Structure 1
């Protein structure tokens, strides 16, 4: 039987928005939304410039690190809420573990 079956090469790739990773594109999309809500062309331009610069800064930081570096950074630096807390790991404010 001759059938063309597609075998994916990479199962754990990062989410993409166009050509960009989702964590790099999200500051631009957020700033586009905030700039659109501002209702002013000057404010839209300023907010979009801030979003592009934040996105470039994030992509430079993430360049030689693990693909999920941004998610790890957010876990360790943002406060925990019931939605973001994990049951199997210690809270992010516990920096030293003995055991």
Structure 2
């Protein structure tokens, strides 16, 4: 009964695309798609450059912060809709809470 048992050490890791987190890789993939749809090599290069720039900016913004910093930032700065609204927390436009 001496079997090597694999014990996972990181159950709550962020989703990844290759080596990159989803929130860092998403701008590059989105701008790659937009550049592909544009049909011009120059606009494709411009879209890819802006996607890489945006993903590097997001990576630097997230450095040394909570792993879910991007989700928290989106919650506080984007308007709520029925899909993203949470029932257990107050709306994001209410900044002061008493109690």
Give the structure-2-normalised TM-score. 0.97
The answer to whether 1:88 aligns with 2:88 is yes
CA deviation digits over 1:13-42, x for unaligned, max 9? 111111111110000001001111111111
Task: Report the counterpart of residue 13 of structure 1 in structure 2.
Answer: 13
CA RMSD of aligned residues (A): 0.7
Which runs of structure 2 are paired with 1:10-49 in the superposition (5 Å)?
10-49=10-49
Deviation for aligned residue 1:47: 0.7
Q: Residues of 1 paired with 2:88 and 2:26: CA distance?
A: 28
Deviation for aligned residue 1:5: 1.7
- Gaps of at least 5 residues in structure 1 are none
Task: Report the counterpart of residue 67 of structure 1 in structure 2.
Answer: 67
Give the structure-1-normalised TM-score. 0.97
CA deviation digits over 1:41-93, x for unaligned, max 9? 11111111000000000000100100110010011111100000000000011
Q: Residues of 2 paired with 1:16 and 1:73: CA distance?
A: 19
Moved over 4 A (4+): none
- Gaps of at least 5 residues in structure 2 are none
Deviation for aligned residue 1:2: 2.1
